[in-house]
Amino acid sequence: MIKEIIKQSAVMQRQISKFELDYFSNLGDIADKLAGYPYTIWLDSCHPYSQQGRYELLVTDPAQLVIGENDQIKTQSHDGKTQIFSGNPFDSLEKILMQYPKFNHTDVFFCGGFVGYFAYDLGRLNEVIPNLLPQIPHFNNCLGGIYLWGIVSDHFKKTTEIIGILPSSQLQELWQKITALPASDLPGFKLASELIPMTDKASYQKSFKQAKQHIAQGDCYQINLSQAFLAQHKGHAWHAYLALRKNNPTPFAAYINAGDYQILSCSPERFIKIENNDVITNPIKGTARRHENSKIDKIYANKLKASIKNQAENIMIVDLMRNDLSRNCVPGSVKVPKLCNLESFNQVHHLVSTVTGQLDALSSPLKCLRDSFPGGSITGAPKIRAMQIIETLETCRRGIYCGSIGYYGFNNNLDTSIAIRTMISQNHTLKLYAGGAIVADSECHSEYQECYTKIKAISQTLNQL
């Protein structure tokens, strides 16, 4: 039904059109109509349950589907035309976007462009990482699409609009078609088993010990060690996502229907944002659980903020991100305006820093993303050596976990998350990951428990469905 309208437009505009809608403080009702369509993506700030994010973007039915496998990207258009690009997928995506118009309207949040994800394992194409862990079957290292329009809510200005490079009349017709769609009839979600760790405690302890040995030997000074959890479920993951965005709201949440699988992300962490050539990253390192008693909760928060260990972990990653951004920023422009700032979310407190820079005229947003990928907060430092060690310690590939989800618009704006608190539903199996930073004075028991602290809100929500 939606695809029929897209096909009516043989020529895309070289200008941006908008169709103003009534303001939606919660895009969930509209997203529900589209959630069952393959390649529907919702970049979600979880409004009204969270007030921390400003924008939400909902897209479906890409003009060009973009699928990455290893070092190849395949595109497929509505007319069935396919293209295959070899080489680094970030560079290939740059070539694909050259086929579309560019705009200087950097004040516009989104006017069309690429929306999708980049899996952690794309980092193997940037650096020399051993291939010791088996590939994840039927999973794409990069997936998304080139979308000519999107539904955008601005929760600061309290506006909602359809915006893109199609004529305004067609955007209006699209909206009429969308509103006429029924609510989804996707079957309700329910766990059929408990979340079970794929790594038993003894194996985790062994990996932890090996990580500490690498640190003692000077190979690294921080290694992010993660583990995966599995559960069987009935019904569709869409309903799990709706519950998660309500009970565990985060400013960089996302729902992706990839056709054969769905990705549900409750990420609190921005990776890289580039707007008007201003670059910003917000690495998170340092976590403490919240408490329902406000006095105890404040004690937990103050203890985290005063923790020398957690501050050290954060500063290590800030230094790493300063170096990564410097590869593509104007010399001398990289700054740290906020260091180890306490931010509180629904279920946890975090230490969050801010690193900024000015994109060099000889670079591009995608090149900056490529050269910083994956984010240092989920690898360790030095990054390359940490990733090499991680490959020997973990039991399975990370997939979407610790990758990035976001958009790169026709107006050169880019924003991406770090895909933590992120899970994949495939063949009625839910896979969820959690991890933490290992440093010289880390204790195995507390690091092991931190994994459970990070997934507690998710597991509680899913168990209640």
Backbone dihedral region for residue 444 (phi beyond 0: left; psi -120 to 50: alpha; all else: beta): alpha
User: What is the model's pLDDT at position 1?
Assistant: 52
- Rounded Cα distance between 43 and 221, Å, is 34
To which H or E segment does residue 336 belong? strand 335-344
Indicate yes or no: pTM above 0.75: yes
User: What is the model's pLDDT at position 11?
Assistant: 59
The residue extents of the domains of the chain are 2-183+190-463
User: What is the model's pLDDT at position 10?
Assistant: 45
- Return the number of other C-beta atoms located less than 10 Å from residue 62's C-beta: 24
Which contacts (CB < 8 Å, 24+ apart) does range 193-197 have?
Answer: 193/231, 193/232, 193/233, 194/231, 195/229, 195/230, 195/231, 195/430, 195/432, 195/455, 195/459, 195/462, 196/229, 196/230, 196/231, 197/227, 197/228, 197/229
3-state DSSP assignment of residue 390: helix
Helix and strand numbers (H, E) in the chain are: 12, 25
Nearest C-alpha neighbor of 390 from the set 348, 435, 334: 435
**Judging by beta carbons within 10 Å of its beta carbon (0-12, 13-18, 19+), is residue 107 exposed, middle or buried?**
exposed
Point out the residues that are catalytic.
269, 285
- May I ask the CATH class of domain 2-183+190-463? alpha beta
3-state DSSP assignment of residue 229: strand
- Rounded Cα distance between 324 and 373, Å, is 9
Q: Tell me phi and psi for residue 358, to 5 degrees.
A: -115, 120
Can you name the residues that pair with 416 across neighbouring β-strands?
406
Nearest C-alpha neighbor of 431 from the set 162, 139, 2: 139
The residue ranges of the chain whose pLDDT is under 70 are: 1-11
Work out whether the CA dihedral 7, 8, 12, 13 comes out positive or negative: negative
